[in-house]
Amino acid sequence: TYLAKERAVAIEAVERASKVCQSVFKRLVAEETLTKNDKSPVTVADFGAQAVVNSILEKHFPQDPIVGEEDSKDLQGDQGRALREKVVELVNTATQAPMSTNEVLRAIDRGQYAGGPKGRHWTLDPIDGTKGFLRGEQFAVCLALIIDGKVRLGVLGCPNLPYEMDKPEGERGVLMVAVEGQGAFQRRLSADSSESETPIRVADVADTKDAVFCESVESGHTSHGDNANIAKLLNITKPSVRMDSQCKYAAIARGDANIMLRLPSSSTYVEKIWDHGAGNIIISEAGGRVGDINGNPLDFSAGRTLRANDGGVIAASAKIFDAVIQAVQTTLAQKSE
């Protein structure tokens, strides 16, 4: 079947990277008391996860370039030594064959590709949702395959997401996967490979008054005042589901929530493709829609960013998507008056 090998390899890569992140959390975050500004565990996990994913992709698809978030410059030289040693040690807990320091750095630097409209490339966000990660809440490992400017395959690893949203204290760890034209599925993240996948669909919400927002825990990414205004226009009264990272896409794809808004936080901010590639195809294949503030589909052919779009990202169940876009436009127009 179409992209069968890519699908299997992407799942393996995301599962391994998720394990790396979880072991960093157990070792560094839980044990070392961190000040609020100390991002070092995230940095270790970020680099470690990127090295693991990139080396797995290189093994199976050596010709495929990668658009990744990190490069190895902070790990070079004497200044980077302490961090570099932690990263290399970490990577070697997750790989089948040991990797040397140089191999780890080279794997990280395979993520420097510029992207574009032709051919195949992968895009990776090794830890999406750093604040969520540090709090022991939601973060995601996000991997997507782009062919000729379109996302054709996406995998999201959400290590702390409850397998069933109505059992928040129950089992955690969800992996979602979608291939163009084949639907979207979820399975347990920590499962062995025989674990069965379950098809997922967005909730069949026909009227926005019955919809639930999915919003960030903190308001850096999108303006909560605008969200409140849009909620009013759409007659939304139900409490929002709050979580960081592309786990929001996962929540909408399986019907835990129905609308995600990422409004432009400034006129200059441009969204990055790795922040949306996997979530975009998982929602579309689950029967939802994703677009910019004008409802145009996200354009992944313009390089490392979504600069061909008009800003922002809105995802919703298909039946209410147009109504949400209308409320967004009304709200933004009132602001600019």
Q: What is the pLDDT of residues 203-229, one digit of tens each?
A: 999 999 999 999 888 765 455 688 889
Mean pLDDT estimate for the chain = 91
The answer, yes or no, to whether residue 256 has pLDDT greater than 90, is yes
Structure tokens, 147: 């062919």
User: What are the beta bridge partners of residue 290?
Assistant: 315
Q: Element (H or E) spanning 282, and its range?
A: helix 277-285
Give dist(CA 330, CA 234) in Å, integer.
11
* Phi, psi (rounded to 5 degrees) for 66: -135, 135
Task: Give me the mean pLDDT over the 34-51 stretch.
Answer: 77
**Terminal alpha carbon distance of the chain:** 52
Axis-axis angle for helices 4-24, 81-91 (nearest 10): 120
Residues with catalytic roles: 46, 130
Query: Given this model, what pLDDT does residue 38 score?
Result: 60
Q: Give the single-character DSSP code of 246.
A: T
* pLDDT interval class at 193 (50, 70, 90): low
pLDDT band at 248 (very low <50, low <70, confident <90, very high): very high
Q: Is the pLDDT at 231 greater than 50, yes or no?
A: yes
Most confident of 133-142, 159-168, 311-320: 311-320
> Is the Cβ–Cβ distance between 262 and 213 less than 8 Å?
no
pLDDT of 184 reads 98
- What is the percentage of the chain residues whose pLDDT exceeds 90? 74
pLDDT value of position 40: 77
Q: Which residues, in sequence order, are bridge partners of residue 122?
A: 66, 145
pLDDT at 326 over 90: yes
Predicted pLDDT of residue 36: 45
Mapping DSSP onto H, E and C, the string for 157-210 reads EEEEEECCCCCCCCCEEEEEEEECCCCEEEEECCCCCCCCCEEECCCCCCCHHH
Q: What is the phi/psi pair of residue 235, to 5°?
A: 60, 35
Contact yes or no for 136/160 (Cβ under 8 A): yes
Identify which has the larger pLDDT, 96 or 231.
231
Amino acid at 178: A
Which residue type does 118 have? K
